[in-house]
A = this chain, B = another copy of it.
């Protein structure tokens, strides 16, 4: 697998990409979840699992059809990272 986007690790069998995001409050967590849902709508890629509480979101990305994560998932992981970077504000 190519180099992982910042903060992501590969774990499990079949191998999956995993990252935990932490937030200061529920409103920020919620904004991130909404942006993530919009990103899934745009790309047609849905994380295998999303686990969240008021101030954290854990995301697991598997490859298509149980295969290892590939270029598509690595790019999706990078775009999830980018959701945390506000553009122009």
A50 at the interface (CB under 8 A from B): yes
Q: Are B48 and A50 in contact (CB under 8 A)?
A: no
Interface residues of A in 35-78 (CB under 8 A from B): 37, 46-54
A52's closest neighbor in chain B, by CB? B50
Contacts of A51 in B (CB 8 A): 49-52
Q: Are A50 and B49 in contact (CB under 8 A)?
A: no
A19 at the interface (CB under 8 A from B): no
A51's closest neighbor in chain B, by CB? B51
* Contacts A50-B51, A50-B53 known; 12 new A-B pairs at CB < 8 A: A26-B46, A30-B37, A46-B53, A46-B54, A47-B53, A48-B53, A49-B51, A49-B52, A49-B53, A50-B52, A51-B51, A51-B52
| A interface, CB within 8 angstroms of B | 26, 30, 37, 46-54
